[in-house]
Amino acid sequence: MREPWWITIIKAFVIINLVMVAFAYTTWLERKLLGRMQNRYGPNRAGPKGLLQPIADLVKLVRKEAFQPDSVENGFVYIIAPIISMFTALAAFSVIPFGAGWHLWHWHIDGQILNVPIALILVFALGSIGIYGFIVGGWVSDSKFSLLGSMRTCAQLVSYEVSLSLAVLGVVIMGRSLSLVDIVHRQDETIWFAAPQLVGLLVFFIAGTAETSRAPFDLPEADTELVAGYHTEYSGMRWGLFQTSEYINMITLSALTVTLFFAGWHGPWAPLGPLWFFLKLFICVSIFIWLKATLPRLRYDQLMRFGWKVLLPVATVNAVVTAALVVAFQ
């Protein structure tokens, strides 16, 4: 049974807003958690427990002048860059399943915005397009720090994308599908893929950390080296869009981890589906934040070496071994 198109549109609208709220409160959570880990309070002025801080930040960013350097030759590209990143980040979330689907009166509602048979490829494809935003944004700014930042982004994201895709190959082989919904169902029937695909999970998580430019792989915007990396010359909400897309990328990646390795919305009591999904997502995001509080930053050449010489072989071997075992036990 298919859901009517207008439900999809309403759902898309709701989900986009939910993701935006999730993003806003991820920043709050990050600042709060980092604060606690670092012996301080974090935001606690705006609203109770600082809960209005993201709203205040948004108001500040929107009201701030979106400054554009004179040296920017192509203003259109300068403005479109953060929008590309933001758009792809949001679009990638559309295929993430967060619930089993419901029957409401005589309509059927899916547990995701779109059930695409090649959802996994779509997510990666959108992610790859999103990288253009970072690269072009840094390049068009015509600033040396931005250029260095976008060079790093370019190299880092392209090389870690390979490991990222190879890491999920094991899951795809075991799940026998590229559709995220099918993979989740399969995990419910057999076993959470985190157990048999532990290596894949680790590679996926590490490569994902690099892919979303989170510590210890936050080289593209290593503030102590490159001031702010590719978005040095951005301000106001344009800068905000870059930040938003980064956080949403992180949320999407966490959602993908939950979906691929931890059986998505499945939990002890089925009707609470989306809640389980949210809980797993929350834990995953918290781990990202924890990493940021703990680890120093890698150096550029070490990062590349790690990506190509450690992660890629491990991911490849994992995929090959999984494939061999799956064929052997059939």
Report the interface residues with another protein, using CB under 8 A.
Answer: 34, 37-40, 144-145, 147-148, 151-152, 215-216, 218-219, 222-227, 292-302
Q: How many other CB atoms sit within 10 Å of the CB of residue 77?
A: 14
Distance, CA of 93 to CA of 12 (rounded, Å): 10
Least separation, in Å, of the C-beta of 152 and another protein? 8
Give 143 or 322: the residue with its C-beta nearer to another protein.
143
Minimal CA–CA distance to 101: which of 235, 259, 271, 291? 271
Residue among 8 and 27 whose Cβ is closer to another protein? 27
User: Of 249, 123, 245, nearest to 183 (Cα)?
Assistant: 123
Closest to another protein by CB, 168 vs 314, is 314
**Tokens at 91, concatenated:** 């679009």
CB atoms within 10 A of CB 149: 30
Say if CB 171 and CB 193 are below 8 A apart.
Answer: yes
We find the least distance from the C-beta atom of residue 261 to another protein, in angstroms, to be 25
Residue type present at position 282: F
Q: CB of 199: closest distance to another protein in angstroms?
A: 19
Report, in Å, the least distance between residue 224 CB and another protein. Answer: 4
217 vs 265, which CB is nearer to another protein?
217
Q: Which is nearer to another protein, 49 or 144 (CB)?
A: 144
CB of 160 vs another protein, minimal distance in Å: 16
Spatial distance between the Cα atoms of 22 and 282, rounded to a whole number of angstroms = 10
Say how far apart CA 110 and CA 289 lie, in whole Å: 31
199: left (phi over 0), alpha (psi -120 to 50) or beta: alpha
CB of 131 to another protein, least distance (A): 19
Determine the Cα–Cα distance for residues 39 and 56; give it in Å rounded to an integer.
24
Q: Which is nearer to another protein, 48 or 296 (CB)?
A: 296
